């Protein structure tokens, strides 16, 4: 990626004026290794940040307008305080505006600002690139405005701001990973309680590969709405028998007994959610014991459940996962993201990476799409890239 501070100073002609502070920050993409379906009904995740980032720079203006520059796209947007709301035509700029909205909602006075960003997070395959834009913008603004708020609270506030700004639901876990991740650590997240357990990765001898299936994801949103509706109905049925329960209150066996004669489709979705909660807990224990064999079984079983019970996989994703299952030394492979195409991840011993890639060479001949493979590492969360900045209020006055 280009150096975002330099890109920013060039775009806004600040190269010769070093008196204007420029704050640069970055925020990572993320993988949900387990969990991610039925949220917020379940709210359990095994996740990490990855070493693919959005980098963003911000500086004050001497007027009250807001300018946005997407360096990778060569696109520019603009806004004002009066128009600091969601506008469909603003596309990517809406995510930066959501971060501005956060600090406005907290009562901080806002003046004109310039923004620039670039990144290398693959988009539209479930790696939370849009969350990373919001988190990078919020991290840079926190520094520029000298706001005393820690990463945990900022993740919570940013999630709330997104919901208010866009008028739609979002996963709190995405923000928690983006803001609170640590290098070489897995996060076990319970969004219903706010608990986050950090586990040092025992995968030093393994590589993590992301494989983009390149399958067009048409009509996915309506299918996801149906899946979420089924999980909500399942929890409603259970609440009629057991007041105030959540899916995490059931063991898999207790759930089967409680479901009784529920509609089959709702049974399947509910069973997946409860089994996945327990898979997250079992994976936590396996990671803490450095039990890679057990972790692999848990991850493979999770994909099978997504295929057979939650029904959001597809033949292309199943084929990619199957190739990993055939290799002794793979520590798991599973779809990640919303499904119906998109991306899988495979954890595999470093000496077997090329063998796995060779096995994927038949994919294009069979399905007609050429997969794209990314090698990633477990990374840290959002951070400021430069420390030099002056008080924002003093600069604009």
Helix (H) or strand (E) holding 384: strand 383-384
Determine whether 174 is an active site residue.
Answer: yes
What local confidence, expressed as pLDDT, does residue 99 receive?
A: 97
Enumerate domains of the chain plus CATH numbers: 4-200+380-396 (3.30.230.10), 206-377 (3.30.70.890)
What local confidence, expressed as pLDDT, does residue 397 receive?
A: 41
What local confidence, expressed as pLDDT, does residue 261 receive?
A: 77
Q: Tell me the C-alpha distance between 207 and 378, whole Å.
A: 10
The number of C-alpha atoms within 13 Å of 328 and in the hemisphere containing its C-beta is 0
Strand ranges (E), 183-281: 185-190, 195-200, 206-212
List the chain residues with pLDDT less than 70. 16-18, 39-42, 387-397
The number of C-alpha atoms within 13 Å of 324 and in the hemisphere containing its C-beta is 27
pLDDT in tens, 339-370: 899 999 999 999 999 999 999 999 999 999 99
Q: Show Cβ contacts of residue 87 under 8 Å, excluding neighbours closer than 6 positions.
A: 79, 94
Q: Looking at 174, 212, 275, 282, which residue is catalytic? A: 174
What local confidence, expressed as pLDDT, does residue 219 receive?
A: 74
Q: Show Cβ contacts of residue 344 under 8 Å, excluding neighbours closer than 6 positions.
A: 210, 211, 213, 303, 317, 320, 321, 333, 334, 335, 336
What local confidence, expressed as pLDDT, does residue 42 receive?
A: 60
**Dihedral, CA atoms, 276, 317, 203, 208, nearest 10 degrees?**
-140
What local confidence, expressed as pLDDT, does residue 388 receive?
A: 53
* Residues forming beta bridges with residue 76, ordered by sequence position: 69
pLDDT in tens, 94-128: 999 999 999 999 999 899 999 999 999 999 888 99
Q: Tell me the C-alpha distance between 199 and 187, whole Å.
A: 6
What local confidence, expressed as pLDDT, does residue 393 receive?
A: 47
Strand ranges (E), 330-376: 330-336, 343-349, 372-376
**Any idea what DSSP says for residue 83?**
G
What local confidence, expressed as pLDDT, does residue 394 receive?
A: 47
How many Å separate Cα 227 from the centre of its chain?
Answer: 19
What local confidence, expressed as pLDDT, does residue 254 receive?
A: 85
Residue for token digits 């009509």? 219
């Amino acid at each position: 990626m280009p150096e975002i501070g330099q890109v920013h100073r060039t775009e806004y002609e600040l190269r010769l004026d070093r008196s204007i502070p420029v704050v640069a920050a970055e925020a990572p993409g993320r993988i949900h290794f387990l969990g991610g379906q039925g949220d917020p009904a379940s709210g359990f995740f095994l996740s990490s940040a990855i070493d693919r980032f959005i980098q963003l720079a911000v500086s004050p203006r001497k007027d009250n307008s807001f300018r946005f520059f997407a360096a990778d796209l060569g696109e520019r947007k603009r806004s004002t305080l009066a128009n600091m709301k969601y506008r469909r035509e603003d596309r990517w700029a809406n995510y930066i505006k959501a971060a501005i909205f956060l600090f406005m909602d907290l009562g901080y006075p806002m003046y004109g600002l310039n923004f620039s960003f670039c990144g290398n997070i693959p988009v539209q395959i479930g790696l939370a690139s849009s969350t990373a834009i919001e988190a990078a913008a919020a991290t840079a603004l926190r520094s520029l405005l000298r706001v005393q708020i820690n990463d945990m609270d900022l993740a919570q506030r940013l999630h709330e701001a997104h919901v208010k700004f866009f008028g739609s639901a979002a996963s709190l876990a995405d923000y928690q990973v983006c803001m609170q991740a640590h290098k070489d650590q897995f996060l076990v997240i319970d969004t219903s309680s706010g608990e986050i357990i950090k586990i040092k990765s025992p995968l030093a001898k393994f590589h993590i590969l992301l494989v983009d299936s390149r399958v067009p994801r048409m009509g996915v949103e309506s299918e996801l709405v149906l899946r979420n509706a089924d999980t909500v109905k399942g929890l409603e049925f259970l609440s009629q028998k057991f007041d105030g329960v959540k899916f995490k209150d059931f063991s898999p066996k207790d759930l089967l007994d409680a479901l009784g004669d529920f509609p089959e489709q709702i049974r399947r979705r509910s069973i997946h959610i409860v089994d996945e909660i327990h898979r997250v807990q079992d994976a936590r224990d396996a990671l803490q014991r450095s039990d890679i064999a057990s972790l692999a079984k848990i991850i493979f079983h999770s994909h099978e459940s997504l295929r057979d019970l939650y029904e959001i996989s597809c033949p292309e994703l199943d084929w990619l996962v199957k190739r990993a299952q055939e290799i002794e030394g793979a520590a798991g492979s599973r779809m990640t993201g919303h499904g119906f195409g998109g991306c899988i991840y495979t954890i595999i011993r470093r000496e077997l990476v090329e063998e796995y890639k060779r096995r994927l060479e038949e994919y294009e001949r069979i399905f007609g799409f050429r997969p794209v493979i990314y090698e990633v590492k477990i990374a840290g969360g959002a951070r400021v890239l430069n420390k030099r900045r002056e008080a924002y209020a003093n600069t604009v006055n």
